[in-house]
C-alpha cells in the first residue's frame, strides 16, 4: 500500500487514489499537475516562437527538439529520484545530502560528455558537423543543468514544506523543457552566425 502511494506521488497524482475510485476523483488528483505541465508546454512554445527566424533559416534545428527536451527530462527525473529517496529516508542533513549532489553533478558531466560525443559522431557521419556541434554542445549543457535542477528542486520543495515526491516531476519536466529549449536555440543562433 505504501509503495502504491509513493508510485502515485512520483507520477504526479496529488492524492492517494484507491483502485475503485471514481473517474472524478482520479481526474481531480491528476489535473493540477497536468495543468503545471501544460503551462510549461506553453512557455516552451513561447521560447520556440522567440527563435522562429533561426528555425526558418536553419530548419534542421527543429529536428532535435524532441531529443533535447527528452534528455533534459530524463536526466532531471533520474537525479531527482536519488534526492527524493534520500529525503524519504530522513537524510535532511545537508552534510549527508551534499555528497549526493556532487555525485549527481559528476554523473551529469560524464553522461553529458558521452552523449554529446555520440550525437556529434552521428551528425558527422551524416556530413553535418556544424549541426552536430550545435546539438552536442547543447545536449551537454542541457544534461548538466538537468542534473543540477534534478538535485536542487526536491531540496527546495522540501524546504518550503511541499512534498518533493509529489511535486518534483512536474516542476523538473517544465523547467528542463523551457531551459533546454532556450539553451539549444541560443547555442544554435550563436554557432550558425
* Distance from C-alpha of 113 to C-alpha of 103, rounded to nearest angstrom: 15
3-state secondary structure of 159: helix
pLDDT one-digit tens code per residue, 100-143 = 788 888 999 999 999 999 999 998 888 888 999 999 999 999 99
Helix, coil or strand: residue 176? helix
User: What digits encode the pLDDT tens for the residues 146-159?
Assistant: 999 999 999 888 88
How many other CB atoms are found less than 10 A from the CB of residue 159? Answer: 10
How far does the chain reach from its first CA to its final CA, in angstroms? Answer: 56
The answer to whether the pTM exceeds 0.95 is no
Count how many domains the chain has: 1
Place of cell 549527508: 96
* C-alpha distances in Å from residue 147, one per residue of 32, 101, 125: 25, 9, 29
Full domain range(s) for residue 182: 2-191
CA 188 to CA 113: how far, in whole Å? Answer: 18
Res 187 pLDDT > 90:
yes
Please, which residues have CB within 8 angstroms of residue 11's CB and are 6 or more apart in sequence?
Answer: 169
Q: Which CATH number belongs to the domain containing residue 30 in this structure?
A: 1.10.357.20
Amino acid at each position: 500500500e505504501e509503495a502504491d502511494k509513493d508510485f502515485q506521488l512520483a507520477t504526479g497524482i496529488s492524492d492517494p487514489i484507491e483502485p475503485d475510485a471514481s473517474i472524478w476523483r482520479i481526474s481531480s488528483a491528476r489535473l493540477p499537475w497536468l495543468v503545471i505541465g501544460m503551462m510549461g508546454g506553453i512557455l516552451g512554445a513561447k521560447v520556440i516562437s522567440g527563435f522562429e527566424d533561426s528555425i526558418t533559416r536553419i530548419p534542421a534545428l527543429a529536428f532535435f527538439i524532441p531529443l533535447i527536451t527528452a534528455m533534459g527530462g530524463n536526466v532531471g527525473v533520474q537525479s531527482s529520484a536519488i534526492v527524493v529517496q534520500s529525503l524519504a529516508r530522513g537524510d535532511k542533513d545537508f552534510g549527508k545530502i551534499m555528497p549526493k549532489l556532487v555525485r549527481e553533478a559528476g554523473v551529469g558531466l560524464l553522461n553529458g560528455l558521452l552523449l554529446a560525443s555520440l550525437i556529434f559522431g552521428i551528425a558527422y557521419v551524416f556530413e553535418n558537423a556544424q549541426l552536430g556541434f550545435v546539438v552536442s554542445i547543447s545536449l551537454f549543457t542541457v544534461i548538466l543543468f538537468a542534473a543540477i535542477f534534478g538535485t536542487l528542486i526536491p531540496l527546495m520543495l522540501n524546504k518550503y514544506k511541499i512534498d518533493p515526491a509529489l511535486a518534483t516531476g512536474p516542476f523538473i519536466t517544465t523547467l528542463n523543457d523551457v531551459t533546454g529549449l532556450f539553451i539549444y536555440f541560443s547555442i544554435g543562433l550563436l554557432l550558425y552566425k
